[in-house]
């Protein structure tokens, strides 16, 4: 198995956690987004969307973090990262997709670069953009968690699911951009519990072999 990864990639971080929780060994292939390595021909041949992450398992190439997580769940079902019941799985998928489809695409590096380079937005404007969308997303997630019928220690029940795998990287990103997370106490509680698990701690950007200090990387920065 090969996993195309970059320490700073929020979507790849979700998959790193899953690989570790499931005890799967994957060769980590670093694709440096800062150096635009994802625009190289060899990578475009692998993923014409030119985005991380990518999982290669035997002859199978899977793009997009949520389909990668679902693939891992189907092929390597232990430990399960989805609840046993249909309603629980639907809730977890809704939660994960709120992050992956609604929040993350508005804040990614290529969007911030476009705002700066093509629209001429200032660093302050981009910070305001980020602040708006992260607050809207996190308050919706906090509401979803507060409305759970039987809250457990994690997003759904007492073990991590795909919901936690999406939540933890998104809050890491919010902290990296100095956002105050105190309005979201349930999120903070769950994230702290997740990060006590080695699979989550070992997947943090600063624990990756390609990590570099991110000082100066602000919304609007490179």
Ligand X SMILES: N[C@@H](CCC(=O)N[C@@H](CS)C(=O)NCC(=O)O)C(=O)O
**CB-count exposure of residue 213 (10 Å: 0-12, 13-18, 19+):** exposed
Residue closer to ligand X, measured from CB, 36 or 180: 36
Return the SS3 of 209: coil
Single out the residue of 80, 88, 108, 221 in contact with ligand X (rule: CB under 6 A): 108
The region of 106-114, 134-142, 171-179, 190-198 touching ligand X under the rule CB under 6 A is 106-114
Q: Which residues pair with 74 in a beta bridge?
A: none
Residue closer to ligand X, measured from CB, 11 or 92: 11
Question: Counting contacts by CB under 6 A, is residue 81 touching ligand X?
Answer: no
Measured between alpha carbons, how far is 154 from 83 in angstroms, rounded to an integer? 12
The region of 58-66, 116-124, 170-178, 195-203 touching ligand X under the rule CB under 6 A is 58-66
Single out the residue of 17, 38, 137, 138 in contact with ligand X (rule: CB under 6 A): 38
Question: Counting contacts by CB under 6 A, is residue 112 touching ligand X?
Answer: no
Question: Counting contacts by CB under 6 A, is residue 51 touching ligand X?
Answer: yes
Output phi, psi for 4, to 5 deg: -90, 120
Measured between alpha carbons, how far is 108 from 50 in angstroms, rounded to an integer? 14
Q: Which tokens is 70 given?
A: 């679902």
Q: Which residues bind ligand X (CB under 6 A)?
A: 9-11, 33, 38, 51-53, 64-66, 100, 108-110
């Amino acid at each position: 198995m090969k996993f195309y990864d970059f320490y700073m990639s929020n979507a790849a971080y979700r998959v790193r956690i899953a690989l570790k929780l499931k005890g799967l060994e994957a060769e980590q292939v670093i694709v440096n987004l800062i150096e635009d390595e994802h625009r190289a021909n060899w990578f475009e041949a692998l993923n014409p969307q030119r985005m991380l992450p990518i999982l290669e398992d035997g002859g199978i190439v899977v793009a997009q973090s949520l389909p990668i997580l679902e693939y891992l769940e189907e092929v390597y079902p232990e430990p399960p990262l989805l609840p046993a019941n249909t309603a629980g799985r639907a809730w977890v998928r809704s939660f994960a997709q709120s992050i992956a489809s609604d929040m993350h695409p508005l804040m990614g590096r290529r969007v911030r670069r476009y705002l700066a380079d093509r629209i001429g937005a200032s660093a302050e404007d981009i910070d305001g953009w980020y602040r708006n969308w992260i607050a809207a997303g996190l308050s919706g997630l906090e509401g979803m968690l507060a409305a759970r019928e039987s809250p457990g220690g994690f997003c759904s029940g007492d073990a991590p699911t795909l919901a936690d795998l999406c939540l933890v990287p998104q809050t890491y990103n919010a902290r990296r951009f100095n956002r105050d997370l105190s309005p979201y106490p349930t999120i903070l509680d769950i994230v702290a519990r997740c990060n006590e698990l080695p699979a989550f701690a070992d997947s943090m950007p600063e624990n990756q072999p390609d990590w570099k200090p991110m000082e100066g990387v602000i919304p609007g920065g490179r």
